[in-house]
């Protein structure tokens, strides 16, 4: 048996050996509790025929646990200083590929095609850098990757917003943008004490499983997200007010917005947080002929 990377003693040894210093700008916080890592991986339900995609492997703490469960692990690491560290710490595992790349610029679909031929069950499992959690998730969702879903760690506050239900304080345009593609649930809350260095906030692991079909069929997905963003611009304002302020030429076209709200069966005095994703879908389709300016 190999010694786990994610213990305080082993992590310190590795960092000292390579003279590694944390870069705040890259949001580097390494997990130092093997039990939590095992727990994260268990939520992904991987088998020996699964593939795992990881973002920001750090020194390989989560990577090695994925390598023990999955057929193939592909990890995207942006920090060049970590490449020799990973080569060392992950040397016992021949089913890991480290890609030195910014995940936001990478062609992930092509990497999957090259590195995971014949693997049909693929999950994204990662401790995401907190400062780019949302852009990473949205990119991987918009790329329409051949994956089953995600088990990812992030700031608890962001996890609450992603998994929020209508009528709650945390519910907003991010909830809609993510839940359009996946079912979302918090799998576990992770205290800040199990990281090195300790972040200022607690974290949560969320489990996102792709829908076979979106919960609502719309004319234009991007326009649905535009409408939802506009509807939450000022949470205390009514949906009518927010749409007038948020849509292109909305102020001059109050009557068209009122007509669309009526067609969708939505009271103009309601607030964005009370609308379900289905209601937003209906509303977006009613507004589309008047306000979607894309060619």
Residue list, annotated binding site for S-adenosyl-L-methionine: 29, 31, 56, 77, 102, 127
Which residues contact residue 182 at a Cβ distance below 8 angstroms, ignoring those fewer than 6 apart? 141, 149, 150, 208, 209, 210, 211
CA separation, residue 90 to residues 144, 217, 254 (Å): 29, 44, 60
Task: Copy the structure tokens of residue 277.
Answer: 């994703």
For residue 206, give the 3-state DSSP assignment.
strand
Residues 118/40/139/101 CA torsion (nearest 10 deg): -80
DSSP string, 72-125: EEEEEE--GGGHHHHHHHTTT-SSEEEEES-TTTS-HHHHHHHH-TT--EEEEE
Q: Where would I find the beta strands (DSSP E) of the chain? A: 30-31, 50-55, 72-77, 96-100, 121-127, 149-155, 182-190, 195-196, 203-210
The upper half-sphere exposure of residue 33, i.e. CA atoms within 13 Å in the direction of its Cβ, equals 14
Q: What residue numbers does the annotated binding site cover?
A: 29, 31, 56, 77, 102, 127
CB 209 within 8 A of CB 148: yes
């Amino acid at each position: 048996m190999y010694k786990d990377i994610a213990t305080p003693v082993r992590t310190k040894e590795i960092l000292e050996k390579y003279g590694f210093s944390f870069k705040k700008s890259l949001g580097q916080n390494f997990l130092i509790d093997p039990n939590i890592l095992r727990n994260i991986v268990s939520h992904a339900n991987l088998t020996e025929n699964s593939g795992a995609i990881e973002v920001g492997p750090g020194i390989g703490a989560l990577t090695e646990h994925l390598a023990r469960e999955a057929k193939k692990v592909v990890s995207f690491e942006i920090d060049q200083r970590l490449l020799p560290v990973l080569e060392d710490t992950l040397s016992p595992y021949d089913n890991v590929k480290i890609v030195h790349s910014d995940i936001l610029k990478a062609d992930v679909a092509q990497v999957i095609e090259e590195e995971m031929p014949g693997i049909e069950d693929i999950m994204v499992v990662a401790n995401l850098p907190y400062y780019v959690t949302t852009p990473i998730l949205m990119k991987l969702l918009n790329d329409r990757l051949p994956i089953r879903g995600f088990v990812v760690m992030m700031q608890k506050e962001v996890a609450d917003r992603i998994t929020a239900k209508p009528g709650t304080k945390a519910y907003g345009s991010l909830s809609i943008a993510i839940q359009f593609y996946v079912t979302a649930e918090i799998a576990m809350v992770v205290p800040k004490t199990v990281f090195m260095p300790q972040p200022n906030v607690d974290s949560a692991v969320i489990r996102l499983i792709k829908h076979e079909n979106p919960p609502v069929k719309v004319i234009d997905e991007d326009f649905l997200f535009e409408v939802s963003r506009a509807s939450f611009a000022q949470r205390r304002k009514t949906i009518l007010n927010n749409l007038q302020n948020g849509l292109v030429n909305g102020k001059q076209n109050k009557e068209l917005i009122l007509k669309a709200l009526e067609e969708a069966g939505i009271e103009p005095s309601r607030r964005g947080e009370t609308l379900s994703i289905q209601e937003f879908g209906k509303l977006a389709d009613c507004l589309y002929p008047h306000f979607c300016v894309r060619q």
